[in-house]
Structure 1
Amino acid sequence: MEKTMSKRTYLATCLLPFMLFGCSSLGLQATADSAREVLPEQDGWAAAEGPVTGGALALEENVFTVSSRKAFVDALSQAGDEPKIIQIKGTINLSSDDDGQELTEEDYRVAPYNFEDYKNAYSPAVWNIKPLIKGRPNRNLDGPLEEARQASADAQKAQIVIHVPSNTTLIGLGDDATIEKGMLLLGDNVENVIIRNIAFEDAFDYFPAWDPGDSFKLDASYPGCQDTYVDASHGPQMCRGGRWNAEYDLISINGAKRIWIDHCTFSDGDRPDSMFPPVYPFPQNEITQKVQHHDGLIDITNQADLITISNSYFHDHDKAMLIGNSDKKTADTGHLRVTLHDNYFNNVGQRMPRVRYGQVHSYNNYFVGNAQGAGNGRNAYEAHLDSLANKPQHNVLRQALGAGKHSAIYSEANVFEIANGNASHAAGNMKGDVFFDTGSMFNGEMIDLLDAANAASGKPMSPDVGWKPELYGVNPAKPASDVVEYVKANAGAGKL
């Protein structure tokens, strides 16, 4: 861990005025190096209740350059909640020990867990034949294999989840700074964090859990599907449903507020979930029943608030971003205010973002994907057979902007290029009531996105979201015709 000399002249010039006005309002951010840049005034929801400065005011003893997990964790611990700048040099593997050796499944595994025995013990042919509970297989797995899986997961979690405290700037040096194989957690009571110019990859869960009741449905279109077991061809084991669920996001904003993420890149790295296909036979072999080792890219939950995500690249992943993680969390009302602008979503399947309760401003973002395999009006059984026949190699784009319960998404001048799709894949109704869009483009044509999405889905939403964005900072909305060129040139790590 190297300490880097801070700019005393910057501190002397900025400290007192910052207390009064914020550095960016004085035009000083352009003259400080990138590590001390702060969120521009009025740049999205993150700026709504005062400046986001991260570690801009760090004293010299709280400026670090780190290249390993140990140095990274030590720097966070040493500075605590004091302003701190942590510069990431090269690749930091969060699944590594203090000597820098990578830790893998065998290092975390607790006996008697092994995947094959776990898979067989809880297979639908074994587990689902038991009496259903409220119309689903029992979702609370029990027995020594599930206990060992959970203990193994706990061991991995203790190593790869890194807590980021308040008043922190994390910034990558050069164009190759990477944090991989773990998760940054910004928890409750954390605020004022800046994360820039870093590629985040492969928060790989070695011990995903099988949930037999996830998306389970008694669907008569599936031959043999019924609520009571009769024989190997008739019973709940012949119904659709069940999912593998992973634990880790690349960044989890879980209760934190006043966060700016800028010029970062997010992906599954070289271990995409497409490498881990379904392991059960029909009808539990639909594409969404792959063995999921990655969860979200960025998830924003549990009353997190005042967040701006800008100029970032999200690619080659299924579920990108959840804002609000439960229909039942009414306490999220009045929180989850998020701005996303000038971001690039490429070969992402869904949740760009999927929103509950929050007021989300999405503008000048670029979405590229392929909806072939999403069903497109057929019943679930026919869509399932089609996906098996066509074997899509892409992440199936199911919806880009997902309007969930009590969400209020304001979409503005976004660009959607969705092969084999329609406007309901751009704006999907996920139990939402309202959605607003203006000035967006779909497959090369200007479109009234709400009207088109309502017509395509048959589940109409109102445009009355109840608010109008005012926070654009130095990035007022561009016309959709200018978005693609700008986003391709600017989004992602290494382009700061």
Structure 2
Amino acid sequence: MNRKMLAASCLVASFIMGCSNFGSGGLYADISQQVLPPSDGWAAAEGGVTGGANASDVHIYTVSSRKALVDALKIAGDSPKILKISGTVNLSSDDQGRELKEEDYTVAPYNFEDYKNTYAPSVWNIKPLIKKRPNRKLTGPLEEARLASVDKQRSQIVIEIPPNTSLIGLGDDAKIVKGMLYLSAGVENVIIRNIHFEDAFDYFPGWDPGDSFKIDTSYPGCQAEYVNANVGPQKCRGGRWNAEYDLISISGAKRIWVDHCTFSDGDRPDALFPPVYPFPQNEITQKVQHHDGLIDITNQADLVTISNSYFHDHDKAMLIGNSDKKTKDTGYLRVTLHSNYFSNVGQRMPRVRYGQVHSYNNYFVGDASGDGQGDNNYERHVDSLKDKPTHNILRQALGAGKHSAIFSEANVFEIANGTPANAIGHMKGDVAFDRGSMFNGEMLDIIEEANRVSGKSLSKDVGWQPNLYGPAPVLPASEVIEYVTANAGAGKL
């Protein structure tokens, strides 16, 4: 029985099949009171997700501004509540609806040009290295002012979502833009559906001179000790700009369902902000990053289902577990992703640490070219500057990180100029499993092929078996593209 047939039969036999308020099929006109279907992924493992479906009339709101959103959340508190998003809610706006921009958040003496010049590798990196890297703790009045500016922006654009909440977009044009929804520890039972999320823009990204820094002698003049302008650590590759905000941050929360949403950088993609330092700090990855993740799931967050959603035109989409050192995440970070569409996304779809992640019937489309060709990093770097790719380079779709256990099935990967190692990448993990997936039009043993191509070894023994598939059966890979492109994203309920 296909999914459309199942939805029809579910309407007739809802009491028998347990499909009352069937969520992803859109059976009722008022989607705001739909709940997570039974057994639909990890979010259903411990009692399901009802969000605000049981809200009294007094706690059902229609909001079209940041102020209305914040006021409704404050009034309702932890009580069941439904917030219907109408039109565009700009989180970077004041109570009168005026959009707040960089100048509204800047704390003197910060300005980007002075900051960039003060911490330039030619200035900062010539100091003695600490543990074989430039000092990663920037000091001085400009860094202090930047951090104060970050605090000022954060206090305005980060909105905390309380328990027992349904956030539901009305129609096909509901948007939440220029800010972040934050679901913290202690928050449970949240539904987010049918919303376009765009452009959580960080006006004050920080430069980390030690991020990805390496003493790589293929680079002329690269060495640990400073000698002169042409020889020293300032001639080594490394350093990254880092942004602060995700579109949704699930940090310690549990029992969360995100469905039929769309995520992107909007009309300010990071491609508009290329590297600002000269060679060798001008790799593609050293662009001035103003956006962090699309959805990040961290800090013992648990029992999350993300379904029927569209992620596009962004570099790093989703972290599940944000540090190799957070051993306390063991036993948490259980996440299901199904029927989602990733297009022109560079990596982290998701990258997983510690969690048990079930990924099925997802569609990944991208291009792995652009890092350049050559026998060493220097030659590849030089070559990459000739290509100047306009796409986000797809480095890995599923990233098997430390102590992760990804169970992949019936996914479709279309990765131009790529290999199965781009489909499931070895990111310090030990295990990953796949069955029934398609890579560039062929049914392959993706794990075996990824191991062969990369020269690394991922065991297939992930130690667990998914059993939470919801009311609809897993589609064969041959049917995934048609289904996902027709159904994934906001406005398609």
User: TM class by shorter-chain length?
Assistant: over 0.9
Are residues 1:207 and 2:200 paired? no
* Aligned counterparts of 2:372 and 2:396: Cα–Cα separation in 1: 12
2:33 corresponding residue in structure 1? 36
Residues in 2 aligned to 1:78 and 1:32: alpha-carbon distance in whole angstroms: 27
Partner in structure 2 of residue 105 of structure 1: 102
Q: Would you say 1:467 and 2:464 are equivalent positions?
A: yes
- 1:9 maps to none
- CA distance in 1 between counterparts of 2:15 and 2:394 reads 41
Amino acid at match of 1:193: V
> In structure 2, which of residues 431, 451, 455 is the aligned counterpart of residue 454 of structure 1?
451
Query: Equivalent of 1:133, from 114, 130, 149?
Result: 130
Partner of 2:168 in structure 1? Answer: 171
Residues paired across the two proteins, number: 476
In structure 1, C-alpha distance between the alignment counterparts of 2:16 and 2:129, rounded to whole Å? 60
Q: Is the 8 A contact 1:362 1:414 kept in 2?
A: yes
Q: Does 1:332 align with 2:329?
A: yes
Corresponding residue SS for 1:425:
helix
Aligned partners of 2:276 and 2:370: how far apart in 1?
19
Corresponding residue number in structure 1 for 2:9: none
Q: Which runs of 5+ in 1 are unaligned?
A: 1-20
CA distance in 2, matches of 1:234, 1:31: 68
1:373-428 Cα shifts (integer Å, max 9, x gaps): 24578532122112101111100000000000000000001000001111101110
Partner of 1:391 in structure 2?
388
Partners of 1:51 and 1:353 in 2: how far apart? 23
Contact 1:212/1:243 (<8 A) preserved: yes
Matching of residue 225 in structure 1 with residue 218 in structure 2: no
Unaligned runs of 5+ in 2: 1-13
1:135-185 C-alpha deviation (Å, 9 max, x unpaired): 000000000000000000100000000000000000000000000000000
Instruction: Please list the CA deviations of residues 16-41 of structure 1 after superposition, one character each: whole Å capped at 9, or x if unmatched.
Output: xxxxx999936254457210000000
1:489 is matched with which residue: 483, 486, 489?
A: 486
TM-score (norm 2): 0.95
Letter in 2 for 1:51: G
Distance 1:160 1:24, change over 3 A: farther
Asked if 1:243 is matched to 2:271, the reply is no
| One of 174, 181, 187 as aligned partner of 1:190 | 187
CA–CA separation in structure 2 for the residues paired with 1:386 and 1:479: 40
- 1:23/1:208 CA distance change after superposition, 3 Å: farther
Contact 1:23 1:38 in 2 (8 A): no
Structure 2 partner of 1:16: none
Structure 1 residues 44 and 377: alpha-carbon distance in aligned structure 2, compared to 1, 3 A threshold: farther
1:486 Cα deviation after fit: 0.3
Of the candidates 42, 53, 76, which is equivalent to residue 79 of structure 1? Answer: 76
Instruction: Find the aligned partners of 2:47 and 2:135 in 1 and give their Cα distance.
Output: 48
Letter in 2 for 1:86: L
Structure 1 residue 213: Cα displacement: 0.2
Write the deviation string for residues 118-143 of structure 1: whole angstroms up to 9, x where unpaired: 00000000000000000000000000
Q: Which residue of 2 aligns with 1:427?
A: 424
Q: Hey, what does 1:4 align to over in structure 2?
A: none
Report the 3-state secondary structure (helix = DSSP H, G, I; strand = E; otherwise coil) of the residue aligned with 2:296: strand
- In the TM superposition, what is the alpha-carbon distance from 1:51 to its structure 2 partner? 1.8
Letter in 1 for 2:274: P
Distance in 1 of aligned mates of 2:49 and 2:17: 10
Structure 1 residue identity aligned to 2:170: L
* Cα 1:38–1:113 shift into 2, 3 Å: same
2:307 corresponds in structure 1 to: 310
SS in 2 for 1:240: coil
State the SS of the aligned residue for 1:156.
helix
Residues 21 and 37 in structure 2, CA contact (< 8 A), matched pair in contact too: no
Q: Which residue of 2 aligns with 1:124?
A: 121
Deviations 1:335-374 (A, max 9, x none): 0000000000000000000000000000000000000024
Report the Cα distance in structure 2 between the residues aligned to 1:374 and 1:259, rounded to whole angstroms. Answer: 36
Give the letter for the 1:95 counterpart: S
Report the Cα distance in structure 2 between the residues aligned to 1:302 and 1:22, rounded to whole angstroms.
Answer: 38
**Aligned amino acid, residue 60 of structure 1:** D
* Residues 295-354 of structure 1 deviation map (CA, whole Å, 9 limit, x = unaligned): 000000000000000000000000000000000000000000000000000000000000
Q: Aligned pair in 2 of structure 1 residues 148, 24: CA closer, same or farther (>3 Å)?
A: farther
**Partner of residue 290, structure 1:** 287
Identity %: 75
Give the one of 5, 18, 27 matched to 2:20: 27
Q: Say if 1:376 and 1:459 are closer, same or farther in 2 by CA, change over 3 A.
A: farther
Please tell me whether residue 257 in structure 1 is matched to residue 254 in structure 2: yes
Distance 2:284 2:16 in 1: 50
Provide the C-alpha distance between the structure 2 equivalents of 1:381 and 1:170, rounded to a whole number of angstroms.
Answer: 48
